[in-house]
Amino acid sequence: MNRLLLIALLFSTLISCDSSSLFEEVEFNDGDKLVFKYINEDFIVPGADPEFHKKNGHFYISDVNALNSLKGLIKAKTSRPSKNSGFAYMITLVSKNENSFLGMYDLKNEILFSNSYYKLRIEDIEKFSNKFIQIKKYKIQFKTIPSLKNGIELLIQNNFEVEHYQKIIESGIAEFNGMTAIKITRETFPNIENFKSIEKKIKTDLNSIDFEYKLTGFSADRDSVEIRIVSNHDLANILPVNYIIFKPYNETVELSPIEAFNIENIELKDLFESNNIEYKLIK
């Protein structure tokens, strides 16, 4: 649902601007890639997925003549559709110096949202299908925190697009080397349903301890709550007595998988194994 919220926010941003297409300001150069990432694949209703996506998946175009020809098609403005279809491509320009968001393409309504609304027929895009270069999308689960930290660095250095990269950085996991899972019980914390009050109390209790850490997650059952703390230290001998060590400090944890688009068609196995990254791919 976070992804759908992102789409809605992007649409609302585009709707609020009534100017020329973002494409009009772009000059395509050798080495540029116009990337089409299909963004609704986790929410597909069986049988409702447009044929265009089934056939082409995620892809990019790098042929400059094709890019300029496609850009030339984005001229005829149209009215805002009464309803977004929910089947869309996010279009970004990946160049040597930066990545730029250029628009969203609604497959079923055949409308491009790019500061305004433009009619763009699928059959016109398909004229360039011989220039489509498919992009592999990986769902990667890192087995250790150092592997997550180093693996993401390698992905970024090699021009993979990591989904929700900023959120991963903000979570703090990649700043540290290990994780401790602690458990608190209703007996010690009567107001156990209120995660915010628990978080506040943990931070107050840990203020007297001189180390850097972040709380990264809560999971609850009826009478206890498990909290994960990422840090660079073993907390077993420094936590207050009312905290139970549920899983001792270690590098090997169950990390949420990340999704990455392989824009440069690099062999992920070679990249990771040559750098001792512990991971598994999830289908």
Kindly state whether residues 40 and 105 are assigned to the same domain.
yes
Q: What is the mean pLDDT of the chain?
A: 81
What is the pLDDT averaged over residues 36-49?
63
Q: Last residue of a domain, which of 92, 113, 134?
A: 134
What is the pLDDT at residue 36?
94
260 falls within a domain: no
Token pair, residue 209, equals: 């301890």
Q: Is the pLDDT of residue 45 over 60?
A: no
271 falls within a domain: no
What is the pLDDT at residue 85?
67
Residue of 217, 243, 211, 238 lying closest to 229 (CA atoms): 217
Kindly state whether residues 156 and 241 are assigned to the same domain.
yes
Higher pLDDT: 179 or 208? It is: 179
**Would you list the DSSP string of 149-189?**
HHHHHHHHHTT-EETTHHHHHHHSGGG-SEEEEEEEETTT-
Query: What is the spatial distance between Cα 283 and Cα 110, in angstroms, rounded to a whole number?
Result: 30
Kindly state whether residues 17 and 54 are assigned to the same domain.
yes
276 falls within a domain: no
What is the pLDDT averaged over residues 141-153?
88
What is the pLDDT at residue 3?
44
Structural domain for 200, as ranges: 142-250
DSSP state at residue 264: T
Query: What is the spatial distance between Cα 7 and Cα 12, in angstroms, rounded to a whole number?
Result: 9
Token pair, residue 273, equals: 């194994």
256 falls within a domain: no
What is the pLDDT averaged over residues 69-91?
82
Higher pLDDT: 219 or 89? It is: 89
- For 45-177, strand residue ranges (E) read 59-61, 88-94, 99-106, 111-113, 117-119, 133-134, 136-142, 161-162
Under the banding of pLDDT at 50, 70 and 90, the label for residue 44 is very low
Q: Is the pLDDT of residue 9 over 50?
A: no
Kindly state whether residues 126 and 148 are assigned to the same domain.
no
Kindly state whether residues 219 and 98 are assigned to the same domain.
no
Residue of 39, 267, 32, 283 lying closest to 154 (CA atoms): 267
Query: What is the spatial distance between Cα 66 and Cα 28, in angstroms, rounded to a whole number?
Result: 10
Q: Is the pLDDT of residue 60 over 80?
A: yes
44 falls within a domain: yes
pLDDT one-digit tens code per residue, 224-279: 888 888 888 888 878 877 788 888 888 776 677 888 999 888 999 999 999 999 99
Query: What is the spatial distance between Cα 6 and Cα 43, in angstroms, rounded to a whole number?
Result: 14
Kindly state whether residues 108 and 148 are assigned to the same domain.
no
Query: What is the spatial distance between Cα 92 and Cα 113, in angstroms, rounded to a whole number?
Result: 13
Query: What is the spatial distance between Cα 162 and Cα 24, in angstroms, rounded to a whole number?
Result: 27
Kindly state whether residues 109 and 179 are assigned to the same domain.
no
Higher pLDDT: 241 or 38? It is: 38
265 falls within a domain: no
Kindly state whether residues 78 and 16 are assigned to the same domain.
yes
Kindly state whether residues 98 and 210 are assigned to the same domain.
no
- Round the CA-based radius of gyration of the chain to a whole number and report it: 23
- Please state the domain count of the chain: 2
Under the banding of pLDDT at 50, 70 and 90, the label for residue 131 is very high
SS3 147: helix
Kindly state whether residues 121 and 244 are assigned to the same domain.
no
What is the pLDDT at residue 19?
58
Kindly state whether residues 91 and 19 are assigned to the same domain.
yes
Kindly state whether residues 101 and 172 are assigned to the same domain.
no
181 falls within a domain: yes
Q: Is the pLDDT of residue 5 over 70?
A: no
Query: What is the spatial distance between Cα 18 and Cα 103, in angstroms, rounded to a whole number?
Result: 14
